[in-house]
Amino acid sequence: MREVATWSRVQHKNLAKFIGACKVPMMVIVTEILTGGSLRKYMLNKRPGSLDMHVAIGFALDIARAMECLHSHGIIHRDLKPENLVLTKDQRTLKLVDFGLAREESVTEMMTAETGTYRWMAPENVRPSLENLPEDLAIILSSCWMEDPDARPNFSQIIQMLLHYFSTILPSKSMIPSRLFTDENAPMSPDSPGTSALMAVCNYTGDTPRGEMENKPKGFFFCFNQCY
């Protein structure tokens, strides 16, 4: 029932939509139908090839936006992994699912970190190299891997960094979808908190940028494939 309570009070374009739940004759949670498959399956089907840069950044933005919404409601997912990220039918948008391990921050503070899927709990042990990556991407990744949690960017900041990088891989600003420069993508206030002091309200419902690109730095795709 905790999953139902958590899921039913948040809505976002990058969270699987909660429809309803029942306890009789068995516990059932009803959500929207997502037929695009998991991110893990999508990535495996792409091998030995790699993602288009815009698709990769778009997926990263989808994930960051979903997590920002949860954190803004005081919810920590605790099991973020490719199997819990599902694609829409057109395979252009990712949505986060499985709130079975989600906790409100006040509850999580009293618990240990030993939860979730074990193989995904220590990314520093299988961390790919940042060599040969575009500088902006290397900065984003290295900042997220900082040993001090307080030094890491929150998801609002990650979204802005990804949007900035996305704007640099197109020939001109005129080719970037105008929705990326609307108020809904404005950065949070300078004192926007991180995971340790979650925000109270979420108004973010930005769209994911999509597009085509011919010049693909392979180093980033190798890193993205290894991470997922």
The β-bridge partners of 30 are: 20
Give me the tens of pLDDT residue by residue for the chain, a chain 228 residues long: 666 777 777 889 999 998 888 888 888 888 899 999 999 999 999 988 888 888 999 999 999 999 999 988 888 887 888 989 999 999 999 999 886 544 554 444 434 444 445 555 565 566 778 888 889 999 999 999 898 999 999 999 999 999 999 988 875 444 455 444 444 444 444 343 333 333 333 344 444 444 443 344 444 444 545 544
Q: Which residues, other chains included, contact 165 with Cβ-Cβ below 8 Å and sequence gap of 6+?
A: 57, 134, 136, 137, 140
The single residue of 52, 62, 79, 150 carrying the catalytic annotation is 79
CATH code for the domain defined by 34-227: 1.10.510.10
Q: How far apart, in whole angstroms, are the C-alpha atoms of residue 100 and residue 102?
A: 6
- Helices 155-168 and 53-72 pack at an angle, to 10 degrees, of 160
Q: Is 98 a catalytic residue?
A: no
Residue 86 belongs to what H/E stretch? strand 85-87
Predicted TM-score (pTM) of this structure: 0.66
Ordered by start, the domain boundaries in the chain are 34-227
